[in-house]
């Protein structure tokens, strides 16, 4: 039996024709997207990007304000509340960067926002902000005579590191012994 004979027998059998047509139709609609579906996905990625840009900026501003208030406060006026404010605002900012990194890795952020906004911010956080954060928090705790014990742990920043590595940047400055605690 030749291929032509097989094809002719499939065409002459209505059940087989219906089954093959149904399977191929299902596969075509499930593994491809229409222009409208692609547009909807693109719009959702854009909306996610805008939301995360706003959230990141809000947390970054709160963190910067807390750091500035700490740095500008006279040493004799520093209180435990100042340390807690800086620590909490830093944790919230870094958590938002983790959420953004997870969204990037999951493909839920548009490529332009990823490349032009988030990846540079993530790289800066890994190379500058996070190491400085741990230095500042530990120095503040020392000045107050309390033990903070916070230190850079790479496993806490895995998604940031994965984004930085995937999109062209290198490991963190925070991972070198000279910049921790």
pLDDT digits (tens, 9 = 90+) for 42-80: 889 889 899 999 999 999 999 999 999 988 888 888 888
Exposure pattern of 87-122 as b/e (b: 16+ CB <10 Å)? bebbebbbebbbebbbbbeeebbbeebbeebbbebb
Same domain, 25 and 55: no
| pLDDT band with cut points at 50, 70 and 90 for residue 106 | very high
Residue 179 clears pLDDT 50, i.e. is over it: no
Measured between alpha carbons, how far is residue 110 from residues 46, 93, 104, 134 in Å? 6, 21, 8, 31
Token couple for 28: 């075509």
| One domain, residues 58 and 132 | yes
Asked if residue 99 lies in contact with residue 150, where contact means CB atoms within 8 angstroms, the answer is no
Whether the predicted pLDDT of 5 surpasses 70: no
- In this structure, the answer to whether residues 151 and 83 fall within a common structural domain is yes
Domain that holds residue 9: 1-32
Residue 18 tokens read as 């219906």
Both 25 and 93 in one domain: the answer is: no
**Are 22 and 86 within one domain?**
no
pLDDT computed for residue 127 by the predictor: 92
Residues 47 and 27 in one domain: no
Total domain count for the chain? Answer: 2
Residues 112-168: tens digit of each pLDDT: 999 999 999 999 999 999 998 998 888 888 888 888 888 888 999 999 999 999 986
Task: State whether 12 and 94 are in the same domain.
Answer: no
14 burial level (CB within 10 Å; 0-12, 13-18, 19+):
exposed
**pLDDT at res. 34:** 84
């Amino acid at each position: 039996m030749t291929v032509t004979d097989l094809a002719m027998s499939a065409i002459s059998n209505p059940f087989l024709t219906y089954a093959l047509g149904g399977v191929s139709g299902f596969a075509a609609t499930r593994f491809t997207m229409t222009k409208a579906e692609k547009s909807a996905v693109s719009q959702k990625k854009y909306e996610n990007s805008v939301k995360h840009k706003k959230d990141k900026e809000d947390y970054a501003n709160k963190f910067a304000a807390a750091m500035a208030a700490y740095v500008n406060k006279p040493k004799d006026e520093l209180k435990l509340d100042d340390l807690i404010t800086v620590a909490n605002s830093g944790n919230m900012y870094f958590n938002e960067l983790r959420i953004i990194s997870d969204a990037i890795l999951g493909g839920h952020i548009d490529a332009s926002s990823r490349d032009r906004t988030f990846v540079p911010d993530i790289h800066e956080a890994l190379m500058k902000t996070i190491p400085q954060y741990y230095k500042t928090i530990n120095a503040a705790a020392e000045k107050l005579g309390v033990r903070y014990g916070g230190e850079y742990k790479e496993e806490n920043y895995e998604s940031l590191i994965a984004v930085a590595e995937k999109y062209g940047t290198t490991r963190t400055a925070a991972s070198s012994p000279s910049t921790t605690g």
